[in-house]
Chains A and B, each alone.
Chain A
């Protein structure tokens, strides 16, 4: 009798153990991104922990890769790469056209809540490929002490920006500092009514009067000495020069907020929307989405989409908003949360979300960007005239476009 009981007990125990093992069987998926700051990493880890709690059958392995794009590209080439990973808007078209991304736009929770401009950025060939994680926009950051001392009002259009830069420029201080590069110049181009490609992306429309106007304006700020590049001010980037008080204004994104608070607590500054051009306001949006590996290279497609949707969904966006570090949540519904944790005075960055343009190019446009940046740097030194710069760049863009056709 006793033996029978023992056997029953044993069998029962094994059954329980078996059931336990079966339920504990989880799938592991990899989530890869780059490491930006300890605060951001911690926030992402918290979000992943929340996801794992809600989905006990999924284990997420978080990978922060240095040299992220090289890391991903070697993974892509071998066909063995993480299930879910950051996709910079700049790389979206490149990666989508190469077939490494699974478009999961139709499975996103409440997609209309995402900013329309951000959805456009991650739409390729008519399909929404991935949901944005967060975004940053450019705004005018200015030194309030220097503005007060010079008695200058915050500029709202191009004429005022020039006048302010002139009034603020002294022997030791540049009126404005910003990198002499395409992403800082593009808002001016769009504000002047210009564009690089036509709306449908099939034609290069860079060689236009609007481009000449914009380049002329941008370049003249430097040739007249009221704007200086960060390198000329002995700084690694514009935020550093601005924080050191070597420049009264800069055009930077919301990543500058935490940097200035941490590094230059004594500098008094404020933010306003970019000065408006003749054809209205514009700014650049820099954004990153959670891409999901293409079905052919993804063993856990369903779980991957679930993770991506959780991180970018209403709950994820709210967590981005609450953590309140640099980037802003990609959902309009979470904007208020971000502002209240970050500070209402940073509303100009959020406002930019409504009229921002994508920092995104078709594959192979690297040569165009190099050509333009080089030309712009030479133009600022007076070595190249504006007409030549615009023509050379338009040719490079045309060539890159022809390569695609």
Chain B
């Protein structure tokens, strides 16, 4: 015993040394393995984010060179303006504020329209293609997933043909309802809610003076416009293209639910509807959190389809925040303002993800 103790005491420092050097070696090896990812993330994610944060505090126009040929920094390129860009976006009345809140309104309608629909449809589709009785599962899985792997620009162009004023969609509706007046899907700024209210005889002129009050540079009446017809078309397109990915995620989760749980439910005499509501949906909760998070981030950042189809028009009704960033930075030569907008978008997405984490209870996922 004593021998053993003395032995330990004697060799302890040596052992510690080797342990420590082993630890250090492990750490080095660990970082070496991570290095490619860390470098890539730093160069393409962290640095741009820091740069964007920095430029959001300047009045840089995005054109004046930051360096000359010799690589000397051009100090005349911009001035620090503090939080002025943020103030103009969020607080100061004027066209910048109007543009920002118009884009926020459009984006929120887009998110509210697309995320619930794509989540529910993806779940339903996943449950259907997961059924044992379904023949040709492979075909349906491929077919539903196909839009997600196709180029979004190409799909946008195809949708433009489909939704042209004498395109297939309009002709199809006309064949079903002969009295139908062609809707110019690609260029109709009428808000969907406005149109519904209009059908009930409620218009801006009949609701009373309150509708003309401007809140954050936008009239109250325009706040409740709903997505425009063109936006609705892009929402349909976006839902259709993203459903496949969401379905695959749900499908993987569905196949992870052990069969015993279902068997037990059958034995207890649960109906199919009950099984779906009480077993499938609760067990898919972590997946739902993931799908909604992906959906939120994707829809808040919608850009490419807008760029191809409408460039923010008609009447700015498809101007999303992401598109506003592009427009201020590249069309309007206000890179400072553009980066500030991007920062605000980042905060919005962050906050929404946190909120829905609380609601859906994503912590249980880990």
Binding site for B on A (CB under 8 A): 69-70, 73, 76-81, 94-95, 98-100, 229, 231-234, 294, 296-299, 363-364, 366-368, 370-371, 373-374, 377-378, 381, 395-396, 399-400
Contacts and interface: CB of A to CB of B under 8 A. Distances in A.
Contact of B94 (A234, A364, A399): A399
A231 B64 CA distance: 38
B132 interface: no
A363 B69 contact: no
A296 B69 contact: yes
Interface string B122-137: 0000000000000000
Contacts, number: 101
B58 to A, nearest CB: 13
Interface stretch (B34-42, B182-190, B296-304, B357-365): B182-190
A373 B187 CA distance: 13
Interface centre among B71, B189, B314 (most CB of A within 10 A): B314
A95 B63 contact: yes
B66 A77 contact: yes
A363 B99 contact: no
Interface in B188-239: 189
Contacts of B356: none
Contacts of A231: 165, 184, 186-187
A79 B66 contact: yes
Contacts of A296: 65, 68-69, 74
Contact of B74 (A73, A79, A233, A298): A79
A63 B121 CA distance: 47
Interface in B289-321: 312-316
A298 B63 contact: no
B357 to A, nearest CB: 36
A47 B238 CA distance: 46
Interface residues of B, number: 36
B301 to A, nearest CB: 18
B19 interface: no
Contact of B332 (A100, A229, A367, A377): A367
Interface string B55-98: 00000011111111101001010000000000000000011100
30 contacts: A73-B63, A73-B330, A76-B63, A76-B65, A79-B71, A79-B74, A80-B69, A98-B63, A98-B64, A99-B76, A232-B165, A234-B164, A234-B167, A297-B69, A298-B69, A363-B61, A364-B334, A367-B95, A367-B332, A368-B95, A370-B99, A370-B312, A370-B316, A374-B313, A374-B314, A377-B314, A377-B315, A378-B189, A399-B94, A400-B95
B331 interface: yes
Interface in B111-153: none
Contacts of B167: 234
Nearest to A375: B315
Given A98-B61, A231-B184, A366 B66 contact: no
Contacts of A233: 165
